[in-house]
């Protein structure tokens, strides 16, 4: 069941009606949402739902075991066994064939990658590690844990939920989100980002560039790379807006996942605004356990490289993803090395100029790194970069419309504008039926603007 489809719209309306009919009875409310989540996920493949149930059962059991009477090595053994099993299944699905190709010792397997496997696996790992640190956070109810792992608005591409934030909302008879206008607006905004912007940029620039860079002039390749920066932001933040809006209509609050990352003046700021639920997950469950920043600078730098390198491989089993992660790891090492050491200009004009230079350098670095993320392999990434550096005017060049859309998305964040995020006041003041009609019309208009055969969200493949 595709998220942007009539079938999903009907499905969600039925779930919405059933959920609100039992909203004051938490057990029934959770049961309706759990059943809906498994129906939704099984629509992709029944085997995916079985895998999700198995991982959820193991996660629930590990949480109970870690909250039990065991101490010392026994608790460490439970955690180690759980991590080996759930990360093992993730590695089998995502990295088995790469290991087979590199070693020649393993048989190749024809395994379909379950949609959202990285997201629900990371949610389970985060929950179990939280219980290992604080046993009082263990959840006795299997229903709570299963729904936390499977909640359908966030299941496919996040945001990655934290049990301590999400599960208490399920147990309350009162909704955690009551602003229906804002929830509807987030859905419309997400549709606009995905259908009108991301799909346009993909169809008119990035798909052609990363499938045949030799057909592009150097200016055309440069604009195509910039277009990918705009596309992946619109695509992924658009999904996050949809997820937040759908959860909000159900009375539940999903965490923010983006905060204008392209306004960042250094890489630390970028990761505070990009895929926030993953960056904080990597910080809390990988970087800090490795030693974080509370160690010698050389060890801290190694921790950054390992964390970001593994973060790159989390996205895909390819040298290009590893390169993307290590580039960001190396960039963060440089950011830490110069943090607080550069002189601050003494005049307002000087400070503005320094901020602009820092923004330009950060955005250029992030954009060039995206080339490795977008390319199907390392060789294609090198070819794209080669076309940009060739200073060759022959081939497909930039178009005015593409430049306006691309630079508009980037400028909106660079100028630190934020007026699109909140439902416009005149719309929010309309009576509920008029609001629903207006927002429904906007949504239908946006979908009508989209191309036929729209590609799935980029992060569905992770």
Q: Which residues have a catalytic role annotated?
A: 315
Sequence-distant (≥ 6) Cβ neighbours of residue 320 within 8 angstroms? 372, 373, 375, 376, 377, 378, 380, 381
CA of residue 291 relative to chain centroid, distance: 25
Contacts of 46 (CB under 8 A, 6+ apart): none
Extract the tokens encoding 37. 């989540």
* Token couple for 176: 């955690």
CB atoms within 10 A of CB 224: 29
- The DSSP secondary structure of 352-363, one letter per residue, reads HHHHHHHHHHHH
Cα–Cα distance between 409 and 374 in angstroms, integer? 18
What would the 3-class secondary structure string for 99-124 be?
Answer: HHHHHCCCCCCCCCCCCCHHHHHHHH
Which tokens hold the place of 92? 């089998």
CA–CA separation, 53 and 56 (whole Å): 5
Can you tell me which residue has the tokens 């306006």?
A: 404
Token pair for residue 96?
A: 């088995």
Q: Are 254 and 159 in contact (CB under 8 A)?
A: yes
Q: Who contacts 456 (Cβ-Cβ below 8 Å, separation ≥6)? A: 2
Contact 119, 158 (CB under 8 A): yes
Q: Which residues contact 438 (CB under 8 A, 6 or more apart)?
A: 427, 430
Query: Which residues make beta-bridge pairs with 396?
Result: 216
CA 220 – CA 205 distance, rounded (Å): 9
The answer to whether 446 touches 191, Cβ cutoff 8 Å, is: yes
Q: How far apart are the first and last CA of the chain?
A: 18
Structure tokens at 136: 């009082």
SS3 308: helix
Q: How far apart are CA 300 and CA 302, in angstroms?
A: 5
Burial class (CB in 10 A: 0-12, 13-18, 19+), 455: middle
Report the half-sphere exposure of 212 (CA within 13 A, side-chain side): 5
């Amino acid at each position: 069941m595709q998220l942007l489809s009539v079938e999903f719209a009907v499905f969600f309306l039925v779930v919405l009606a059933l959920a609100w009919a039992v909203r004051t009875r938490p057990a029934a409310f959770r049961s309706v949402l759990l059943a809906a989540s498994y129906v939704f996920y099984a629509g992709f493949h029944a085997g995916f739902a079985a895998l999700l149930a198995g991982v959820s059962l193991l996660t629930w059991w590990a949480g109970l075991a870690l909250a039990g009477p065991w101490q010392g090595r026994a608790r460490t053994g439970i955690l180690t066994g759980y991590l080996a099993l759930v990360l093992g299944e993730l590695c089998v699905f995502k990295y088995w064939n790469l290991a087979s190709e590199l070693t020649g010792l393993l048989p190749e397997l024809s395994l379909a990658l379950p949609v959202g496997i990285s997201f629900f696996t990371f949610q389970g790992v985060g929950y179990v590690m939280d219980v290992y640190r604080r046993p009082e956070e263990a959840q006795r109810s299997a229903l709570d844990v299963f729904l936390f792992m499977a909640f359908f608005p966030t299941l496919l591409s996040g945001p990655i939920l934290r049990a301590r934030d999400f599960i208490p909302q399920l147990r309350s008879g009162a909704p955690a989100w009551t602003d229906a206008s804002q929830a509807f607006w987030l859905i419309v905004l997400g549709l606009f980002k995905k259908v009108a912007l991301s799909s346009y940029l993909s169809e008119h620039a990035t798909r052609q560039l990363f499938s045949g860079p030799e057909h592009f002039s150097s200016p055309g390749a440069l604009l195509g790379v910039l277009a990918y920066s705009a596309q992946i932001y619109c695509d992924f933040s658009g999904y996050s807006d949809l997820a937040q809006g759908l959860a909000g209509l159900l009375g539940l609050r999903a965490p923010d996942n983006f905060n204008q990352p392209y306004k960042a003046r250094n890489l630390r700021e970028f990761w505070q605004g990009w895929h926030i639920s993953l960056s904080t997950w990597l910080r809390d469950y990988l970087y800090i356990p490795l030693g974080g920043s509370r160690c010698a600078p050389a060890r801290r730098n190694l921790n950054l490289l390992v964390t970001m390198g593994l973060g790159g491989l989390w996205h895909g089993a390819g040298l290009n993803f590893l390169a993307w992660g290590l580039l960001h790891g190396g960039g963060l090492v440089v950011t830490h090395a110069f943090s607080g050491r550069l002189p601050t200009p003494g005049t307002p004009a000087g400070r503005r100029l320094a901020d602009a230079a820092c923004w330009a350098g950060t955005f250029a670095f992030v954009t060039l790194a995206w080339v490795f993320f977008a390319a199907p392999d390392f060789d294609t990434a090198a070819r794209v970069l080669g076309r940009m550096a060739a200073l060759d005017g022959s081939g497909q060049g930039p178009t005015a419309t593409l430049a306006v859309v691309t630079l508009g998305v980037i400028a909106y964040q660079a100028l630190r504008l934020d007026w699109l995020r909140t439902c416009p006041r005149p719309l929010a003041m309309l009576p509920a039926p008029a609001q629903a009609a207006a927002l429904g019309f906007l949504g239908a208009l946006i979908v009508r603007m989209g191309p036929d055969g729209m590609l799935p969200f980029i992060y569905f493949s992770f």
